[in-house]
Structure 1
Amino acid sequence: MDLQRQQLPNSTLILVFGILSIVGCCCYGIVGLVFGVITLSMAQKATAIYNTNPEMYTGYQNVKTGKILAIIGIALSALMVISYIAILGIYGLEGLENMQREMMEQYGG
């Protein structure tokens, strides 16, 4: 009996969301955290499906890669969030606005 292998559900989407979690860390870290958490949740479900019958599915490599990228994205995003909180704590909102204004004047924004 020849079983036809099928694509693991959401395997490509998990990979894309993993990439977006790294890119999203540049958006104050929030977007990266959101994509990272969603990716890890989806990867956990896909891994459970794959482990029930591994010979039936393809695309598990995308799930593993997406999961690794999500972990990296979450770590980078968490660092960004912590750094923004630290800057706000040290300089306050007014100090942060002054820093942004000075940068815009210096670099011609």
Structure 2
Amino acid sequence: MEQQKLPNATLIIVLSIASIVLCCFYGLLGIILSIIAIILSNKSIQQYKINPQDYSNYSSIKTGKIIAIVGLVINILVLLFFIWFISVIGWDALQDEELMRERMEDMMNQ
């Protein structure tokens, strides 16, 4: 029997890389993409474990899952940073540049 490729291998890698690239959007979009990539990779890994001799691209699935986990961690850290930043500076300071400058200076002087 000829070996076939596991489904969604390319999609998992693309979503994983996109989750790292999109961490600059407050972490939310990257978290969603990395969770989708992890779910898809877990399904492919389960399918591989049933018949490992039938599939040839298991290493790319593992690579995509590792990249997705790294993307998830980075995006969670970015999200936590923005939550911390808003809690320290305040939502109203984000709207007013002078108020933000004053609060940043106060924070640096402490």
Which residues of 2 match residues 33-52 of structure 1 at below 5 A? 33-52=31-50
Instruction: State the distance in 2 between where 1:48 and 1:63 align.
Output: 11
Aligned residue in 1 for 2:73: 75
> Stretches of 4+ moved more than 2 A in 1?
96-99
TM-score by length of 1: 0.84
1:94 deviation in Å?
2.2
Instruction: State the distance in 1 between where 2:41 and 2:85 align.
Output: 34
Aligned residue in 2 for 1:57: 55
Q: Helix, strand or coil: the match of 1:38? A: helix
* Equivalent pairs, count: 99
TM-score by length of 2: 0.83
Q: Do 1:8 and 1:50's aligned partners in 2 also have CA atoms closer than 8 Å?
A: yes
Q: Deviations over 1:3-38 (max 9, x none)?
A: 111110111111111111111211110111001100
Unpaired stretches in structure 2, ≥5 consecutive residues: 102-110
RMSD: 1.6
Aligned residue in 1 for 2:29: 31
Q: Do 1:87 and 1:96's aligned partners in 2 also have CA atoms closer than 8 Å?
A: no
